[in-house]
Chain A
């Protein structure tokens, strides 16, 4: 029953969950949910660019995400518009530009659905290498910058005053997010990577009381979502990417019940 492609899908999913668990916590803590979504939207432009210039897809997506992040920082200094407005502007315009360029590419058949929802069952060995290699690198970097990044997340002024250099770590974190989206776009797709970044971390917040615990629970939540999602997609013959996110949502709902009971117990 467990075919090769399914094993590869499992391995890819586990790799993704291990990265998005702790990174997703920072996305929630730093209120970057919408930013993650914006980066994911811009990935469509990245994929189109890859097709036009015959680049590696992951590399091209990473490049576009990074350019977008820098562009956002520039916009923030030029105007007083609130962040969510700027992010919305960037998300939709980069998506639109991507679709316009696709229109010109009459010679290339393009699977937009595959890009939106990913195709975890079509993971190749080189994809696995990219996810696990990139993932290990991302997690090592996160481990190294955890303390200053966390301090900058709690309070910029405090971190800056006490010599933690928050600007540098904010920039590194942005690059890490671009990298995650680049290596996972093919697996879970751009609409679902945001879900994997946010939902496991959100459910972990409901049942944790310190940052390390939240990162661990978020990772466990992500792993469970992958396992439940993949096995049920096999069982019920549903689309695998959306099944994973649905499983994550169910776990989130369970975590809500838990917190209610938990707080009642404390009384």
Chain B
């Protein structure tokens, strides 16, 4: 956490209640340049709600949210494009930003869907659509990326590649990322800071500290705390297809 980079997003004691029912409350965190902050928690624990609070989507919230950039890319959890809207992938890419054809191609290429450029959005599969959503969010070279379950519906191999891409983007473009993910493996291996939500912040800190927290164990069970041990050892080698070890 010794990160001297610029703060992009600051959430202070934020929450929201709808019809007097609190959805989430007392959430505080910061996202800095080049940092990945992850929200984890069971279904209905307020992860997406917290992301929307941070993005200023709700009109009335408790607490304070400040963003220090207006270059924001967002991958929402659920988005449905009605058939009545004739939108091709290339139209969708320029939804909130003017882009050159080159920029569109590069972004689509990064997420592996360049061939879908002229296809209609309503004809895409779930995984393809998710890749287009990510491509759109990164194509505008945002300073802050908010990714709500960005790889849902993507096949296993693609999932790993996309998470690697996200990590690479945060390193290379120096943007801050607020990530919501169910995949504890990914969260624990690639994240700088974790918030464990269940209507409020149960525990938070570096992945290393969070897995040791008793509240984390309560929420996710004992097996989840062993996850980190998988990543504790340093990978100094890779395996070839036949299983032999390639030294780096």
Binding site for B on A (CB under 8 A): 28-29, 31, 147, 150-151, 153-164, 205, 208-211, 213-214
Contacts and interface: CB of A to CB of B under 8 A. Distances in A.
Given A29-B85, A205-B86, A211-B86, A160 B55 contact: yes
A111 B72 CA distance: 55
A155 B96 CA distance: 11
A158 B96 contact: yes
Contacts of A31: 82, 84
B92 interface: yes
10 contacts: A28-B84, A29-B85, A154-B87, A157-B55, A158-B95, A161-B52, A209-B86, A209-B88, A211-B91, A213-B86
Interface string B129-153: 0000000000010000010000000
A198 to B, nearest CB: 11
Given A150-B95, A151-B95, A158-B79, A163 B70 contact: yes
For B52, B56, B81, B84, which residue has the most chain A Cβ atoms within 10 angstroms? B84
Contact of A161 (B55, B81, B120, B140): B55
Contact of A214 (B56, B82, B86): B86
B87 A158 contact: no
B216 interface: no
Contacts of A208: 86
Mostly, the A contact residues are: helix
Given A157-B57, A211-B86, A164 B91 contact: no
B15 interface: no
Given A161-B55, A209-B120, A210-B87, A154 B74 contact: no
A207 to B, nearest CB: 10
A159 B96 contact: yes
Given A151-B95, A209-B120, A211-B91, A157 B76 contact: yes
Nearest to A28: B84
